[in-house]
Amino acid sequence: MTEPASIGLLASLGINAKLFYAQLINFGIVMLIVWRWVYRPLLKAMDRRNKKIEEGLMQAEQIKKDRLAFDQEHTKLIKAAHEEAHKIMHAADEEAKQQRQTLIMKTQQEIERMERESKTHLEQEQIRMLRSLKSHVAELVIQTTEKILPSVLDKNHRQELMEQAAKEIK
Protein backbone atom coordinates (compact mmCIF):
# COMPACT_ATOMS: atom_id res chain seq x y z
CA MET A 1 0.00 0.00 0.00
CA THR A 2 2.70 2.38 0.78
CA GLU A 3 4.33 1.49 -2.39
CA PRO A 4 1.50 2.43 -4.72
CA ALA A 5 0.98 5.63 -2.72
CA SER A 6 4.65 6.46 -2.96
CA ILE A 7 4.60 5.52 -6.67
CA GLY A 8 1.63 7.77 -7.10
CA LEU A 9 3.38 10.55 -5.18
CA LEU A 10 6.58 10.10 -7.17
CA ALA A 11 4.64 9.89 -10.43
CA SER A 12 2.78 13.07 -9.57
CA LEU A 13 6.20 14.75 -9.15
CA GLY A 14 7.30 13.40 -12.51
CA ILE A 15 9.77 10.87 -11.11
CA ASN A 16 9.99 7.31 -12.41
CA ALA A 17 9.78 5.08 -9.32
CA LYS A 18 11.81 2.19 -10.76
CA LEU A 19 14.50 4.51 -11.89
CA PHE A 20 14.44 6.30 -8.52
CA TYR A 21 14.85 3.03 -6.60
CA ALA A 22 17.64 1.91 -8.95
CA GLN A 23 19.44 5.21 -8.40
CA LEU A 24 18.85 4.89 -4.68
CA ILE A 25 20.41 1.39 -4.70
CA ASN A 26 23.30 2.66 -6.87
CA PHE A 27 23.78 5.58 -4.48
CA GLY A 28 23.86 3.16 -1.52
CA ILE A 29 26.41 0.92 -3.28
CA VAL A 30 28.57 3.95 -4.21
CA MET A 31 28.24 5.24 -0.65
CA LEU A 32 29.26 1.81 0.71
CA ILE A 33 32.29 1.68 -1.64
CA VAL A 34 33.26 5.27 -0.88
CA TRP A 35 32.76 4.74 2.86
CA ARG A 36 34.70 1.47 2.95
CA TRP A 37 37.57 2.14 0.52
CA VAL A 38 37.82 5.92 0.46
CA TYR A 39 36.26 7.52 3.55
CA ARG A 40 37.66 5.12 6.20
CA PRO A 41 41.25 5.19 4.80
CA LEU A 42 40.93 8.96 4.47
CA LEU A 43 39.79 9.20 8.11
CA LYS A 44 42.66 6.93 9.20
CA ALA A 45 45.14 9.06 7.26
CA MET A 46 43.67 12.22 8.77
CA ASP A 47 43.84 10.65 12.26
CA ARG A 48 47.49 9.69 11.69
CA ARG A 49 48.22 13.18 10.43
CA ASN A 50 46.41 14.72 13.43
CA LYS A 51 48.42 12.45 15.77
CA LYS A 52 51.66 13.51 14.06
CA ILE A 53 50.66 17.15 14.36
CA GLU A 54 49.76 16.68 18.03
CA GLU A 55 53.04 14.85 18.64
CA GLY A 56 54.88 17.64 16.82
CA LEU A 57 53.11 20.23 18.93
CA MET A 58 53.85 18.25 22.09
CA GLN A 59 57.50 17.91 21.03
CA ALA A 60 57.64 21.62 20.28
CA GLU A 61 56.14 22.34 23.69
CA GLN A 62 58.63 19.95 25.30
CA ILE A 63 61.48 21.55 23.38
CA LYS A 64 60.23 24.95 24.51
CA LYS A 65 60.16 23.74 28.13
CA ASP A 66 63.61 22.14 27.75
CA ARG A 67 64.98 25.33 26.22
CA LEU A 68 63.48 27.39 29.02
CA ALA A 69 65.01 25.00 31.58
CA PHE A 70 68.33 25.14 29.70
CA ASP A 71 68.21 28.93 29.64
CA GLN A 72 67.48 29.02 33.35
CA GLU A 73 70.30 26.56 34.05
CA HIS A 74 72.59 28.54 31.77
CA THR A 75 71.69 31.76 33.58
CA LYS A 76 72.21 30.04 36.91
CA LEU A 77 75.63 28.72 35.84
CA ILE A 78 76.68 32.11 34.53
CA LYS A 79 75.56 33.74 37.77
CA ALA A 80 77.46 31.10 39.77
CA ALA A 81 80.53 31.65 37.59
CA HIS A 82 80.31 35.41 38.13
CA GLU A 83 79.96 34.90 41.89
CA GLU A 84 82.91 32.52 41.89
CA ALA A 85 84.97 34.97 39.85
CA HIS A 86 84.00 37.73 42.29
CA LYS A 87 85.03 35.54 45.23
CA ILE A 88 88.34 34.73 43.55
CA MET A 89 88.97 38.40 42.80
CA HIS A 90 88.08 39.34 46.37
CA ALA A 91 90.37 36.61 47.73
CA ALA A 92 93.15 37.75 45.39
CA ASP A 93 92.69 41.34 46.55
CA GLU A 94 92.79 40.25 50.18
CA GLU A 95 95.88 38.15 49.57
CA ALA A 96 97.55 41.03 47.72
CA LYS A 97 96.73 43.37 50.61
CA GLN A 98 98.11 40.86 53.10
CA GLN A 99 101.27 40.36 51.05
CA ARG A 100 101.64 44.13 50.69
CA GLN A 101 101.29 44.52 54.49
CA THR A 102 103.79 41.72 55.07
CA LEU A 103 106.22 43.31 52.62
CA ILE A 104 105.78 46.71 54.25
CA MET A 105 106.41 45.22 57.69
CA LYS A 106 109.50 43.35 56.46
CA THR A 107 110.78 46.52 54.78
CA GLN A 108 110.19 48.55 57.94
CA GLN A 109 111.98 45.92 60.02
CA GLU A 110 114.87 45.89 57.53
CA ILE A 111 115.06 49.70 57.66
CA GLU A 112 115.04 49.64 61.47
CA ARG A 113 117.74 46.96 61.48
CA MET A 114 119.85 48.98 59.05
CA GLU A 115 119.34 52.12 61.16
CA ARG A 116 120.46 50.24 64.27
CA GLU A 117 123.50 48.85 62.47
CA SER A 118 124.33 52.28 61.06
CA LYS A 119 123.92 53.88 64.47
CA THR A 120 126.10 51.22 66.08
CA HIS A 121 128.68 51.60 63.32
CA LEU A 122 128.62 55.39 63.68
CA GLU A 123 128.97 55.15 67.45
CA GLN A 124 131.93 52.79 67.06
CA GLU A 125 133.47 55.04 64.40
CA GLN A 126 132.90 58.06 66.67
CA ILE A 127 134.57 56.26 69.59
CA ARG A 128 137.48 55.25 67.36
CA MET A 129 137.84 58.78 66.02
CA LEU A 130 137.69 60.24 69.56
CA ARG A 131 140.42 57.89 70.70
CA SER A 132 142.47 58.77 67.65
CA LEU A 133 141.83 62.45 68.26
CA LYS A 134 142.77 62.16 71.94
CA SER A 135 145.91 60.35 71.03
CA HIS A 136 146.73 62.92 68.39
CA VAL A 137 145.96 65.85 70.74
CA ALA A 138 148.14 64.28 73.42
CA GLU A 139 150.90 63.87 70.87
CA LEU A 140 150.55 67.52 69.80
CA VAL A 141 150.58 68.67 73.39
CA ILE A 142 153.74 66.70 74.05
CA GLN A 143 155.39 67.99 70.90
CA THR A 144 154.45 71.52 71.77
CA THR A 145 155.65 71.04 75.30
CA GLU A 146 158.92 69.53 74.05
CA LYS A 147 159.51 72.50 71.87
CA ILE A 148 158.77 74.85 74.65
CA LEU A 149 160.58 72.86 77.31
CA PRO A 150 162.96 70.55 75.46
CA SER A 151 165.42 70.12 78.17
CA VAL A 152 163.00 69.53 80.97
CA LEU A 153 161.25 66.40 79.71
CA ASP A 154 162.87 63.07 79.40
CA LYS A 155 161.35 59.97 77.85
CA ASN A 156 159.74 58.54 80.97
CA HIS A 157 158.31 61.80 81.98
CA ARG A 158 156.95 62.34 78.48
CA GLN A 159 155.14 58.96 78.59
CA GLU A 160 153.57 59.79 81.91
CA LEU A 161 152.31 63.14 80.63
CA MET A 162 150.79 61.50 77.54
CA GLU A 163 148.92 58.97 79.61
CA GLN A 164 147.73 61.59 82.04
CA ALA A 165 146.53 63.86 79.19
CA ALA A 166 144.71 60.94 77.58
CA LYS A 167 142.98 60.13 80.87
CA GLU A 168 141.91 63.73 81.36
CA ILE A 169 140.51 64.01 77.84
CA LYS A 170 138.43 60.84 78.25
pLDDT higher than 80, residue 165: no
Cα–Cα dist 49/62, whole Å: 19
Residue 43 confidence (pLDDT): 92
Residue 151 confidence (pLDDT): 55
Tens digit of each residue's pLDDT (9 = 90 or more) over 15-37: 888 888 999 999 999 999 998 99
Cα–Cα dist 140/124, whole Å: 24
Q: Tally Cβ neighbours within 10 Å of residue 138.
A: 19
Tens digit of each residue's pLDDT (9 = 90 or more) over 53-89: 999 999 999 999 999 999 999 999 999 999 999 999 9
CA distances to 17, 30, 34, 144 from 26, in Å: 14, 6, 12, 168
Tens digit of each residue's pLDDT (9 = 90 or more) over 110-141: 999 999 999 999 999 999 988 888 888 878 87
Distance of CA 20 to the CA centre of its chain: 89
Q: How confident is the model at residue 1 (pLDDT cuts 50, 70, 90)?
A: very low
Contact (CB, 8 A) for 146 and 158: yes
Contact (CB, 8 A) for 121 and 156: no
pTM for the model stands at 0.41
Residue 115 confidence (pLDDT): 93
By residue count, the chain amounts to 170
What angle do the packed helices 40-148 and 155-169 form, to 10 degrees?
140
pLDDT higher than 90, residue 6: no
